[in-house]
Chains A and B, each alone.
Chain A
Amino acid sequence: EAGVAQSPRYKIIEKRQSVAFWCNPISGHATLYWYQQILGQGPKLLIQFQNNGVVDDSQLPKDRFSAERLKGVDSTLKIQPAKLEDSAVYLCASSLESESYTFGSGTRLTVV
């Protein structure tokens, strides 16, 4: 089966600019996750969707980060405006059952 697709792979922006990441989960996977992985740290959950509803966004910096999952399939994560500390790899994952995560390759964001 096809994996979790993410784009772009790399993005470099200046601080205060906006950026968007896209994720296409595995077909049929109801749950979609966005994780932030800062260099030297483990991934941290930003937001979790069940179909097109938000299950957990407790660690999402809502003043600058937003995410949506239209029609319960693809998802976009947006940062506006970006800060230097947002430099990280943004990982998308999906699951059919909670034990079976599949991660995408991630988008590496550099804010300068």
Chain B
Amino acid sequence: GNSVTQMEGPVTLSEEAFLTINCTYTATGYPSLFWYVQYPGEGLQLLLKATKADDKGSNKGFEATYRKETTSFHLEKGSVQVSDSAVYFCASRYTGFQKLVFGTGTRLLVSP
């Protein structure tokens, strides 16, 4: 079936530290992959996406590369800020199906 697994949180970092949040997907077909961010009290916002193998999505200093060989889409940022504190969701969508399938979310806490 269609599923997404991401690392459990919370992830606690100091400002300017390097961030990695792992995400893997089931290898049935070739889905589009997404990272969404949810700030406290707000709705989900699309952070970045990739639609095919080896694509790199990027936005606001965050990056993720679609790795078909490892069925992964890990989120990275070289230097996190306090304002990046939020919950991050990895999601997939298979061609022909419009629904998004989400991982369980990873809470990121960045301290000054």
Residues of A within 8 A of B (CB): 4, 31, 33, 40-45, 48, 55-56, 91, 93, 95, 98-99, 101, 103-106
B37 to chain A, nearest CB (A): 11
A31 closest partner in B (C-beta):
B98
**Contact of B102 with A by CB under 8 A:** yes
Residues A33 and B99 in contact, CB atoms below 8 Å apart: yes
Residues B102 and A43 in contact, CB atoms below 8 Å apart: yes
**With A42-B89, A42-B105, A99-B49 given, is the CB distance from A104 to B100 under 8 Å?**
no
Cβ contact of A45, chosen from B32, B43, B45, B100, cutoff 8 A:
B100
Complex CA distance for A101 and B102, rounded to whole angstroms: 13
Residues A95 and B98 in contact, CB atoms below 8 Å apart: yes
B42 contacts across to A, CB distance below 8 A: 105
Residues of B within 8 A of A (CB): 4, 32, 41-46, 49, 51, 89, 91, 93, 98-105
19 A-B pairs in the complex with CB atoms less than 8 angstroms apart: A4-B43, A33-B99, A40-B104, A40-B105, A41-B105, A42-B4, A42-B103, A43-B102, A45-B101, A48-B98, A48-B99, A56-B99, A93-B44, A95-B98, A98-B93, A99-B32, A104-B43, A105-B41, A105-B42
Residues A106 and B43 in contact, CB atoms below 8 Å apart: yes
A40 to chain B, nearest CB (A): 7
A49 to chain B, nearest CB (A): 11
A48 closest partner in B (C-beta):
B99
Complex CA distance for A4 and B46, rounded to whole angstroms: 14
Residues B32 and A42 in contact, CB atoms below 8 Å apart: no
B46 closest partner in A (C-beta):
A101
B98 contacts across to A, CB distance below 8 A: 31, 33, 48, 55, 95, 98
B36 closest partner in A (C-beta):
A103
B102 contacts across to A, CB distance below 8 A: 42-44
B101 contacts across to A, CB distance below 8 A: 45
